[in-house]
Amino acid sequence: MNSGSKFIINKCIFLIFSKISPMLCGAEKRKLHDEIVEHVKSSKLISYPVDKTCINLFFISKEIDKLISARSAVVSGGDQKRSHTTLQSCLNLYYFLITCAKLKKITFVHKKVLEYVEQRIATSLQITGVESADEKYIPYSIHIKNEKSVSHLVAELGADCAAYLKKINGVKIRHLTIDRSQINIDEEWKQKHQCAFNRKKLKIPISKHNYEFILNGVTESALREKVLTLLNSPYENQSLNRDVIKILKKRYDVATKLGYRNWVDYSMSHFTSEKGKYNKLRDFFNLVKEKVDRDYARVSVNMGKLLRSGGGSQPSDRYGLPHDRGELRRDRMAPLRDKPTLHDWSYYHNKCANKPDEYFVNTFFPHGHVWKNFIEIVSRIYNFSYEEVREKGVTKKWPKGTLVYRIERRSANHSSGANTHVYESLARSRFGESPRREVPPGDSLLGYMYIVPYMEIKLRDYFRVPSMNCLSNTCLICPGHVVVDYKFIGTIPIEKKLFSCSEILTLFHEFGHAYHLLLLSRRYTLYRFSNMPLDYAEFFSHMSEHLVNNLSVLQALSNKADNNSKISEDIFKAIKFDSSRLANIFTHAVVDYEIHGLNPREFFASHLEGRAGVAHGKAHEQVHAQADGQPYDRAHADDSLAPFYNLIGSYLPYKIGPSYSIHSTSFPYHFSCYYAGSVLSYLLAEMRVLMNIPTADLSIKRNSSLVAFQKKFYAIVAEDFIGSSGWPGSSVIDRALANRHLLA
């Protein structure tokens, strides 16, 4: 179907449902829709809680369509000021529309209407034009439609990524069955996983959410290897490797057709604040690598002793010896044979870091206590007041368990009211060429935060690996209204559920996004959020994550369910951030840089030549082998990504075996969204925190430390993130390269 026919079909669907939808709403509901739309058009705060029923996608789409027609008439009349205002209103509503689409279950009809609206806006901008000052505010999804040379490729990419994720999310769960004595974990945890008909055995589900936890408890190397096999085996026979290569080829084609060297270069220019810094990226990686090497050197000696005593291989020079400070060049990496296997490396690294039993740590963070403590802790750290909205008329329209909070600026008479004057200065400040709305000094309301703790679980979810469909996310609905969808898995009674250490990090990470968006939404018009640099957005979430690396914060957060005891300093020292945090972030960034920096046609050509149909044939062989109870030779499996595995293996402190798969952990994220090629945004954000925000000295018991943190935080928030000069220190790459001592 050509684009013209597709547009006509979408238009017909839009016309039909935009007329039917209002007929199904009562007068009061239509009045509410009108009121919300008028507030959103002008980016005004809605001073009461909203919910999904307040949002009608067809109604919003119809209003956007009206504005597009009105702007065409205004442009014809030569009224540039009204044209600019109308465009802003249109883009505000479009941002509202796509955000609402994330909150609701989108049907086929909704998708078609959304496609129609996007095409209408894109066509209007192409015909009537847009002022140069407004170009940077045009949403990417609209902008790319007017890039005729690649718009069809981008549409195909979206379909390919959706198909890939559908396969990832449909993978069936695998279980590890072992004796109780074969894993060193708390007895209470074992009790929850004992086999129904044999209490001496444990049946443990294996997924990306718990495999490291299991690896660190299993005592036998062969069983640890089996854990990784169970983790990766569900992804073997679905042609996922070829799906990835197809996506890589199309991304490379999009980037090169638009004049960029590769997808990394393109992503940096479009989605981060590091525009034009691609040539410096390798030097930046080399600088970070030096710090990662030094961090690993601190534990490698003990790790080597443990490995030798356990019969494993000694860690490679790559992470072991201080004289090896090789640059990020594959030809200078230590040989892979010197490295321990992944399953042994994880086990012994955990022992070197003196990590305690993670389940024992989790018992200090039962969900019931943590949710109550968390909002109080962050309100003190960031200096805001809150009130929980308990009206059933509001909460019943959100998913079960949703917490709704009204957030206000804290007045000066509070003990930690250090940022009251900062808020006033934010309202008066002038920045760049970009208009922003002033917040009246007497207006204390920041807005509402909707925290959705748990994802909805269906029966089939008990038999699948929860993967990409359970990623936590935060979105700004409209000015002053932020939704935090944590999507924690509530498969057991909530009163018995415990937070893991990684979930605690997620708790703070998403709140960092949410509070930052809440603050900015009171100052900026809504459409400006469409193109927020990813590294800028992640900076505030990483800053919030670092609050977890603080004894006073974790003590206030913890409450053991049986005796209300707090986490001790000894336990905190064992679980606090160690060298692996920066190393893990660095590794993901480098892998993303490599996979999106290469020419996939040339890179995979020699390996794929003459191998058409191999994956299907060998998958058929595997099915028959497994049916006969025979082991399957993995060497005959689809190894389309083997060259890439060889490449990234050079950057890892361990060997990746034949069962390794990029599809089983967080790598599918690289192939599913705009962050692909921009995963380095997490590294940029982490480095910015390390160089700018010391959180180790913060204590919620010392008001002076809170004041110091708040001054720094609100000073950064006060700066313009898109203005002509960019936000202060916008290039963390330049700053890091010019101030190497900050990473010493």
pLDDT digits (tens, 9 = 90+) for 205-255: 998 888 988 998 998 999 999 999 999 988 888 899 999 999 999 999 999
Residues in contact with 573: Cβ distance below 8 Å, sequence separation at least 6, in sequence order: none
Name which of 184, 505, 568 is nearest 350 in CA terms. Answer: 184
State which amino acid sits at residue 514.
A
What percentage of the chain exceeds 90 in pLDDT?
A: 37
Separation of alpha carbons 91 and 105, rounded Å: 22
- What is the model's pLDDT at position 619? 44
Tell me the per-residue pLDDT of 14-63, one tens digit each, with 9 for 90 and over.
999 988 887 888 888 888 889 999 999 999 999 999 987 778 889 999 99
Q: At 205, is the secondary structure helix, strand, or coil?
A: strand
Indicate whether 613 pLDDT > 50. no
More confident residue, 248 or 462: 248
Confidence of residue 632 (pLDDT cuts 50, 70, 90): very low
* The pLDDT of residue 307: 65
Is the per-residue pLDDT at 10 higher than 70? Answer: yes
Q: Output the CA angle 244-250-252, nearest 5 degrees.
A: 100
> Which tokens is 167 given?
């396969």
**pLDDT at residue 91 above 90?**
yes
Count the Cβ atoms, other than its own, within 10 Å of residue 61: 23
Q: Are 586 and 292 in contact (CB under 8 A)?
A: yes
Can you give the length of the chain in residues?
744
Distance, in Å, from the CA atom of 554 to the CA atom of 575, rounded to the nearest integer, reads 11
* pLDDT over 80 (residue 566): yes
Model pLDDT, residue 278? 93
Report strand pairing: 445-454 vs 481-488. parallel
Please indicate whether residue 725 or residue 678 has the higher confidence score (pLDDT): 678
Q: Which residues face 447 on adjacent strands?
A: 407
Which residues neighbour 570 within 8 Å (Cβ) at sequence distance 6 or greater?
none
**Is 344:221 a contact under the CB 8 Å cutoff?**
yes
What are the residues facing 445 on neighbouring strands?
A: 408
Structure confidence at residue 319 as a pLDDT band (50, 70, 90): very low
Query: What's the Cα-to-Cα distance from 115 to each of 25, 104, 158, rounded to whole Å?
Result: 24, 16, 13
Backbone angles phi, psi at 468, to 5 degrees: -70, -25
Whether the model clears a pTM of 0.85, i.e. scores above it, the answer is yes
pLDDT at 433 over 90: no
Answer whether residue 437 shows pLDDT above 70.
no
> Which residue in 665, 654, 662 sits closest to 638, CA to CA?
662
pLDDT 10s digits, 134-167: 677 888 889 898 888 898 999 899 899 889 988 8
pLDDT level of residue 326 (50, 70, 90 thresholds): very low
pLDDT at 316: 47
Quick one: which H or E segment has residue 143?
helix 140-143
DSSP letter (8 states) at residue 403? E
Q: How many CA atoms lie within 13 A of 330 on its CB side?
A: 11
How much is the average pLDDT of 737-743?
Answer: 83
* pLDDT reported for residue 637: 60
Q: 180-201: string of b/e by CB count within 10 Å (b at 16+)?
A: beebebbeebbeebeeeeeeee
Q: CATH: 3.30.70.890, 3.40.50.150, 3.40.630.30, 1.10.1370.40. Which one for 360-577+693-743?
A: 1.10.1370.40
Res 722: pLDDT: 63
pLDDT level of residue 115 (50, 70, 90 thresholds): very high
- List, for residues 377-393, the tens digit of each pLDDT value: 999 999 999 999 998 88
Task: Find the mean pLDDT for residues 665-690.
Answer: 82
What's the confidence (pLDDT) of residue 651? 80
- Nearest to 453, CA basis, from 374, 390, 379, 359: 374
Phi, psi of 542 (to 5 degrees): -70, -35
Q: Judge contact between 454 and 494, C-beta under 8 A.
A: yes
Give the other-Cβ count within 10 Å of 79's Cβ: 14
Domain ranges of the chain: 3-146, 172-236, 240-353+582-680, 360-577+693-743
Residue type, position 594, single letter = E
Residue 339 near residue 315 (C-beta atoms within 8 A): yes
Instruction: Indicate the pLDDT class of residue 132, thresholds 50, 70 and 90.
Output: low
Closest CA to 467 of 159, 106, 164, 170: 170
pLDDT score recorded for residue 283: 94
**pLDDT for position 655:** 85
| Interval 483-502 mean pLDDT | 81
Which residue has better confidence, 390 or 743?
Answer: 390
Counting other chains too, the contacts that 75-78 makes at CB distance below 8 Å and 24 or more residues apart are 75/128, 75/129
pLDDT higher at 673 or 120: 120
Instruction: Read off the pLDDT of each residue in 310-330 and give the average, rounded to a whole number.
Output: 45
Gap between the Cα atoms of 228 and 236, Å rounded = 13
Determine the Cα–Cα distance for residues 445 and 427; give it in Å rounded to an integer: 14
Mean pLDDT for the chain overall: 81
Neighbour-count burial for 273-312, b at 16+ CB within 10 Å, e otherwise: bbeebbeebeebbebbbbbbbebbbebbeebbebbeeeeb
Name the 3-class secondary structure at 609. Answer: coil
